[in-house]
Amino acid sequence: MTSILIVDDHHVVRQGLRFFLQTQEDFRIVGEAENGQEAVGKVKELQPDIVLMDLMMPVLDGIGATKVIKESFPSVKVMVLTSFSEYDQVIPAMEAGANGYQLKDIEPDDLVTAIRKMVKGENSIHQKATDQLVNRMTNIDKQSVLFNRLTTREKDVLLEMAEGKSNKEIADALFISEKTVKTHVSHLLNKLEVSDRTQAALLAVKYNLHQKHVRSE
């Protein structure tokens, strides 16, 4: 029998989950909590097998609660059950130790399957959340490939561009001619697949080029 603690700040959500999950012969709902702090206390008291954890809650949010629970009770499995599939929610939740990440639009039978997978020690992540991770990593990989196309001097020029400098200011900073700067700018725009200096500068900032590239002498 799998013991489950339901954590959500909305009473109707907790009741809906309880009503459905307790129809499963191998599930037992041992308690509920309406915020992360209460959830930590209930886990200490009840030692459930599974915690269904909402993210956005008062007092202590789901990510904070998950971190505390996994540090203090590593054998307890936490499944995030939320409305948010964005990368900025998924990654912190998984880093906090969540064993699964599901969305509230999941079909009831799929939720049951996901919980049973977690009981067996398997991670369970909703397809939308997985897509967010894949898309983000694909974009990061593409940016890395694009920047690797640049020569050292083109990266130097791009760093100066990201600081808002004109061609003349870049030329003075790098001790090269303004004509050479224009050539580098044209080449790097093509390599980065952007149409203007602003887009190139924003991409450099997004990629943290100033931390990854040391200007050449």
- Report which of 30, 58, 60 is spatially closest to residue 45, judged by C-alpha positions: 30
Model's pTM, two decimal places?
A: 0.64
User: What is the second-level CATH architecture of the domain 2-126?
Assistant: 3-Layer(aba) Sandwich (3.40)
When the candidates are 3.20.20.140, 2.40.110.20, 1.10.10.10, 3.40.50.720, the CATH number that belongs to 149-210 is: 1.10.10.10
Tokens of 31: 């308690």
Within its chain, how far is the Cα of 159 from the centroid? 27
Q: What is the pLDDT of residues 80-118, one digit of tens each?
A: 999 987 767 888 888 898 988 999 999 999 999 999 989
- Report which of 206, 195, 214 is spatially closest to residue 162, judged by C-alpha positions: 206
Could you tell me if 154 and 187 are in contact, meaning their C-beta atoms sit under 8 angstroms apart?
A: yes
- Give residue limits of the domains in the chain: 2-126, 149-210
Q: What is the DSSP letter of 151?
A: -
Q: What is the pLDDT of residues 163-215, one digit of tens each?
A: 888 899 999 999 999 999 999 999 999 998 888 888 888 788 777 776 655 55
Could you tell me if 176 and 125 are in contact, meaning their C-beta atoms sit under 8 angstroms apart?
A: no
